[in-house]
């Protein structure tokens, strides 16, 4: 793909859009950047681009005319692929790719790519920690918050990449071909974008569509949807399981993590030595151990990383204990299945804080997961009424409505006794009240710290 002298339209000015625009400028392209938001809503990002590259801005509207002038289009993940200017560009024979695809075409190092509904960030980070433990120059990139395009020109052929890849990003790949692809799980999510589960599953499976017999696909043998699929891929498939021994792959046997990639069984460490809490994180550890092993990393480095990796911010992150009440920040619990896993990881009675942006999920299984563990729920945000209605229909009536995270923390604390947990695991995205889940998590932690005063 030639860039010099070409006109590139970058649609979507989030982190990845800014990084893609800067990269294309370095490659000699004429860059047009677009976002449906107006300039006053994007002041920091616009200022960053104006100070670093020479580009044209089309803000506050769809870029129909700019798309006509562009030789090709690069989409940020948040931009839907069915917008009229995108459909027309494709009809005109113009290439429309995503930021991940752009980075891949320039990347010279092998890639371990991780997707799934839940656990992507934890597993991607953990794979990166395994690579580092093995002494490899490592890049942890993608949907994790570090745009691939921002670092790709600095990646050497001898390096390794651990990349988190979302379903939105997989919609816009073309030649993307990781050495190892991982699908952690698939549960209902992002139906506001994908419309149906069939399309969501198709997007996830696309991570392996270009792999060949020299590549590897890692999938969860315990996942209800994945275990029932006939996956069309030329890659060699390896599975992982925390519930059953497997002929090969990664599994737990007599409390030991075992990996076999066709070279004989290798013990990694005891399952209860894995530092990050929760059975779902044991699954993430198995996936990371298997992926890293397939990338050529030895058992010693895998074991070390699994035993010392403390987890990632905003993922069942212990904030502090106040008057015997322990607060956990799981702001990344942005769908019901993720929140269920966080609830399962709690030991002892729990007051749950939930609610946020409506992604058209249902909450029946979420409420069912409360069992006797969740003693009360504090709800807020766009989905508060929907969650409350579902809870009441299922006989759970200890629900308290609030208007802010700060009020939620205070209310949850009042509902707790020594030995309780207060868990922020919203089961919803954050966009109704916050810029992203990270901002929501930081506000929660600040509110918890304020309680001590």
Interval 329-360: pLDDT, tens: 999 899 998 899 899 989 899 999 999 998 88
Instruction: Determine what percent of the chain is predicted with pLDDT higher than 70.
Output: 98
Q: Give the residue numbers spanning the domain of 147.
A: 107-308
**130-134, 310-314, 336-340, range with the lowest pLDDT:** 310-314
Rounded distance, CA 125 to CA 142, Å? 11
- The pairing of beta strand 256-260 with beta strand 249-253: antiparallel
Number of C-alpha atoms within 13 angstroms, CB side, residue 41? 12
1 lies in a domain? no
Domain shared by 297 and 353, yes or no: no
* Cα–Cα distance measured from residue 72 to residue 2, given in angstroms and rounded to the nearest whole number: 11
Mean pLDDT of 232-252: 96
Q: Do residues 157 and 299 both lie within one domain?
A: yes
CATH of the domain at 51: 3.40.50.720
Q: How many domains does the chain have?
A: 3
Cα 199 to chain centroid, rounded: 18
The verdict on residue 253 lying in a domain is: yes
State residue 453's pLDDT score. 54
Mean pLDDT taken over the chain: 94
Cα gap 395→378, rounded to integer Å: 16
Q: Is 257 helix (H, G, I), strand (E, B) or coil?
A: strand
What is the mean pLDDT of the segment spanning 197-204?
88
Residue given tokens 């300039």 in the structure block: 39
The answer to the question of residue 244 being in a domain is: yes
pLDDT at 304 over 90: yes
* pLDDT at position 191: 56
Strand partners, 74: 10, 97
Name the helix (H) or strand (E) containing 102: helix 99-106
Percent of the chain with pLDDT over 90: 84
Domain boundary among 271, 290, 308: 308
Do residues 12 and 36 make contact, with C-beta atoms less than 8 angstroms apart?
A: no
Q: Residue 190 above 80 pLDDT? A: no
What is the reported pLDDT for 352? 98
H or E element at residue 322: strand 317-322
Asked if the model's pLDDT at residue 194 lies above 70, the reply is no
What pTM value is reported for the model? 0.80
Rg, Å, the chain Cα set: 22
Q: How far apart are CA 154 and CA 60, in angstroms?
A: 33
What confidence score (pLDDT) does residue 228 get?
Answer: 87
Nearest to 317 by CA among 141, 434, 437: 437
173 has pLDDT over 90:
yes
- Look at the block and give the residue holding tokens 């980075």: 103
Query: Per-residue pLDDT averaged across 395-411, rounded?
Result: 96
111 and 68 housed in the same domain: no
Which residue bears the tokens 């030895």?
A: 298
Average pLDDT score over residue span 39-50: 93
| In a domain? residue 2 | no
- pLDDT for the residue 189: 60
Tokens of 81: 């692929």
The CA-based dihedral angle spanning residues 134, 139, 144, 145, taken in that order and rounded to the nearest 10 degrees: 140
Bridge partners (DSSP) listed for residue 401: 379
* Helix H or strand E encompassing 98: strand 95-98
Token pair belonging to 443: 């506000």
Query: CA angle, 416 as apex, 412 and 420 as ends, to 5°?
Result: 115
Last residue of a domain, one of 247, 273, 308: 308
Query: Which helix (H) or strand (E) covers residue 32, if one does?
Result: strand 30-35
Residue 94 φ/ψ, nearest 5 degrees: -85, 145
3-state secondary structure of 173: coil
Query: Which two tokens mark 417?
Result: 């006794």
Q: What is the CATH number of the domain that holds 366?
A: 3.90.190.20
Q: Buried b / exposed e across 376-396, counting CB within 10 Å, b at 16+?
A: bbbbbbbbbebbbebbeeeeb
Residue 1 pLDDT greater than 80, yes or no = no
pLDDT of residue 427: 96
What are 62-114's pLDDT values in tens digits?
A: 999 999 999 999 999 889 999 999 999 999 999 999 999 999 999 999 999 99
362, two tokens: 């249902």
Same domain flag for 154 and 287: yes
329 and 230 within one domain: no
CA distances from 85 to 27, 63, 78 (A): 25, 7, 15
* Contact call for residues 240 and 287 (beta carbons, < 8 A): yes
Say if residue 91 is in the same domain as residue 32: yes
Q: Which of 178-192, 404-418, 429-443 has the highest mean predicted lDDT (pLDDT)?
A: 404-418
Q: Are residues 26 and 140 in the same domain?
A: no
| Confidence at residue 197, expressed as pLDDT on a 0 to 100 scale | 80
Residues 284 and 409 in one domain: no
Same domain, 263 and 148: yes
Residues 255 and 343 in one domain: no
At 196 the pLDDT is: 84
83 in a structural domain: yes
First to last CA, the chain: 58
User: Is 182 part of any domain?
Assistant: yes
Are both 242 and 111 inside the same structural domain? Answer: yes
Q: What is the pLDDT of residue 188?
A: 66
- Domain-embedded: residue 46: yes
Nearest to 301 by CA among 410, 138, 149, 446: 138
82's CB contacts (< 8 A; 6+ apart) are none
pLDDT above 70 (res 398): yes
d(Cα 252, Cα 163) in Å, to the nearest integer? 25
User: Among the three residues 80, 98, 116, which one is the final residue of a domain in this structure?
Assistant: 98
Backbone angles phi, psi at 67, to 5 degrees: -65, -35
pLDDT of residue 374: 97
In three-state secondary structure terms, 167 is helix
Q: Quick one: pLDDT band at residue 380, thresholds 50, 70, 90?
A: very high
Give the residue, 287 or 198, on which the prediction is more confident. 287
In sequence order, the 6+-apart residues with CB closer than 8 A to the CB of 37 are 13, 59, 60
Q: Annotate 344-404 with DSSP letters as a single string.
A: HH--S-EEEEE--B--S---HHHHHTTTTTEEEEEE-STTHHHHHHHHHHTT---EEE-SS
Strand partners, 241: 251
Contact by Cβ (8 Å): 142, 104: no
- 272 DSSP assignment: G
Average pLDDT over residues 363-388: 96
Does 366 lie in the same domain as 267?
no
Q: Is the pLDDT of residue 230 over 70?
A: yes
């Amino acid at each position: 793909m030639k860039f010099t002298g070409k006109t590139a339209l970058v649609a979507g000015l989030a982190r990845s859009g800014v990084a893609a625009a800067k990269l294309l400028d370095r490659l000699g392209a004429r860059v047009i950047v677009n976002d449906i938001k107006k300039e006053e809503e994007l002041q920091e990002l616009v200022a960053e681009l104006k100070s670093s590259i020479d580009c044209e801005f089309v803000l506050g509207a769809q870029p129909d005319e700019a798309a006509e002038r562009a030789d090709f289009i690069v989409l940020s993940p948040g931009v839907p692929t069915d917008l009229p200017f995108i459909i027309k560009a494709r009809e005109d024979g113009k290439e429309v790719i995503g930021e991940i695809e752009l980075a891949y075409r320039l990347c010279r190092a092998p890639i371990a790519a991780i997707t799934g509904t839940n656990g992507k960030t934890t597993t991607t980070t953990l794979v990166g920690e395994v690579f580092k433990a093995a002494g490899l120059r490592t890049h942890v990139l993608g949907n994790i918050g570090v745009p691939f395009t921002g670092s790709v020109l600095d990646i050497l052929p001898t390096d390794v990449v651990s990349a988190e890849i979302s379903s939105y990003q997989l919609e816009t790949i073309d030649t993307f071909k990781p050495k190892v692809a991982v699908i952690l799980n698939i549960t209902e999510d992002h139906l506001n974008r994908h419309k149906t589960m069939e399309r969501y599953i198709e997007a996830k499976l696309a991570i392996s569509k270009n792999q060949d017999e020299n590549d590897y696909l890692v999938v969860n043998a315990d996942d209800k949807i994945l275990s029932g699929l006939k996956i069309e891929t030329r890659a060699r498939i390896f599975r992982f399981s925390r519930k059953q021994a497997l002929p090969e792959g990664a599994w737990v046997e007599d409390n030991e993590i075992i990996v076999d990639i066709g070279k004989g069984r290798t013990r990694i460490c005891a399952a209860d030595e894995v530092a990050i809490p929760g059975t779902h994180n044991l699954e993430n550890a198995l996936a990371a151990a298997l992926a890293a092993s397939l990338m050529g990393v030895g058992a010693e480095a895998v074991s070390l990383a699994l035993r010392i990796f403390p987890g990632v911010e905003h993922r069942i992150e212990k904030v502090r204990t106040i008057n015997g009440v322990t607060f956990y920040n799981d702001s990344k619990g942005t769908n019901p299945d993720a929140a269920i896993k966080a609830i399962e990881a709690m030991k002892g009675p729990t007051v749950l804080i939930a609610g946020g942006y409506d992604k058209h999920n249902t909450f029946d299984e979420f409420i069912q997961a409360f069992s006797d563990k969740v003693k009360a729920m504090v709800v807020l945000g766009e989905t508060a009424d929907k969650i409350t209605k579902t809870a009441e229909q299922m006989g759970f009536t200890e629900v308290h409505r609030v208007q802010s995270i700060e009020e939620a923390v205070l209310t949850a604390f009042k509902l707790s006794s020594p030995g309780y947990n207060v868990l922020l695991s919203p089961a919803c995205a954050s966009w109704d009240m916050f810029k992203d889940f990270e901002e929501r998590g930081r506000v929660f932690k600040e509110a918890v710290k304020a309680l001590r005063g």
